[in-house]
């Protein structure tokens, strides 16, 4: 008979399942769980608060432009963020925009629709400008495309050619050396997001990018990790990925304010996104490598 706790159901459970050595195993499991929890809390609090009294470089050293800043201290990146809809810039890329601007890089936003699937295109266009002002992106750095073949909609797969043509023109006209967009899963699985990624991938594969331009895609994660594991996402993301942007505590307030600039979109599930989504705190990027040509391979 195992230890008696004074409650019949508890006594039966302990007697049947964890009598003897089982108690030690349960205690060990609880201890390990507590240690992991404490570890995650410490690192999360550290990353969210330490930035208030640290230099900008500490927070950008694993960012998409960090390698260039290390090799050429006077070099500042000119970054183009290619998105599908107004609110993509803050729902998914807020930490990245704020970190890049803080480090002195120039950020440009190219949005491929007004987000007018529900007839609110002009309203959403105006909200994009407001959000970008909150984030610190100048009005002249924001471009919104309205194209007959780029209709907003979850089931609309956009053609690659008009997307890639606009991106390529923008890269050359503004001297962009860093392109950021979605990955092949589009973060939320939205076909418009995926189409923008496909256009960027097409430019890479056809070697149509400027010689010094690097391309990064925002890594999609599963629903459970995105919304249920926020406590662990900062340490896991920061230490196990090469290109990461983490928001400071003050950044989170700015991102929430920018999100609320999209007032027409603030439905109940957007409030849950603000509370639980990892993309408001952490952005993980993967570099899209150029194809190795025979000429470069022979060198």
Question: What token pair was written down for 253?
Answer: 């307030």
- pLDDT > 70? residue 19: no
Task: Write the pLDDT tens digit of every residue in 262-287.
Answer: 999 988 888 888 888 999 989 999 99
Strand partners, 142: 109
CB atoms within 10 A of CB 298: 6
- pLDDT > 90? residue 219: yes
- pLDDT > 90? residue 83: yes
- pLDDT > 90? residue 248: no
Model confidence at 44, pLDDT cuts 50, 70, 90, reads: low
pTM of the model: 0.79
Model confidence at 30, pLDDT cuts 50, 70, 90, reads: confident
Phi–psi pair at 88, nearest 5 degrees: -60, -35
- Measured in whole angstroms, the distance separating CA 161 from the mean position of its chain's CA atoms is 26
Mean of pLDDT over the chain = 81
Q: Among 54-58, 106-110, 156-160, 219-223, whose mean pLDDT is lowest?
A: 54-58
Rg (CA), the chain: 23
Question: What token pair was written down for 124?
Answer: 């959403």
- pLDDT > 80? residue 32: no
Task: Write the pLDDT tens digit of every residue in 120-148.
Answer: 879 999 999 999 999 999 999 999 998 88
């Amino acid at each position: 008979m195992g230890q008696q706790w004074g409650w019949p159901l508890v006594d039966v459970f302990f007697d049947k399942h964890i009598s003897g050595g089982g108690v030690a195993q349960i205690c060990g499991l609880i201890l390990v769980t507590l240690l992991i929890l404490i570890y995650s809390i410490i690192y999360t609090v550290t990353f969210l608060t330490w930035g208030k009294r640290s230099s900008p470089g500490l927070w950008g050293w694993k960012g998409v432009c960090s390698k260039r800043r290390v090799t050429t201290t006077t070099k500042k990146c000119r970054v183009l963020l290619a998105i599908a809809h107004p609110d993509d810039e803050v729902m998914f890329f807020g930490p990245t925009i704020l970190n890049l601007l803080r480090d002195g890089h120039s950020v440009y936003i190219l949005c491929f629709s007004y987000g007018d699937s529900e007839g609110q295109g002009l309203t959403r266009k105006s909200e994009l400008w407001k959000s970008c002002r909150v984030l610190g992106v100048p009005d002249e750095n924001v471009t919104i495309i309205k194209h007959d073949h780029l209709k907003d909609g979850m089931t609309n797969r956009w053609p690659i050619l008009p997307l890639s043509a606009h991106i390529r023109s923008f890269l050359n006209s503004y001297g962009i050396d860093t392109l950021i967009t979605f990955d092949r899963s589009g973060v939320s699985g939205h076909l418009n997001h995926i189409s923008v990624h496909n256009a960027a991938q097409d430019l890479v594969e056809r070697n149509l990018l400027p010689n010094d331009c690097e391309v990064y895609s925002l890594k999609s994660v599963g629903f459970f990790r995105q919304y249920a594991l926020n406590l662990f996402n900062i340490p896991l993301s920061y230490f196990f990925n090469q290109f990461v942007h983490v928001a400071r505590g003050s950044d989170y307030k700015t991102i929430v304010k920018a999100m609320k600039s999209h007032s027409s979109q603030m439905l109940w599930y957007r409030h849950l996104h603000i509370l639980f989504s990892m993309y408001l705190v952490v952005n993980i990027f993967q570099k899209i490598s150029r194809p190795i040509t025979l000429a470069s391979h022979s060198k």
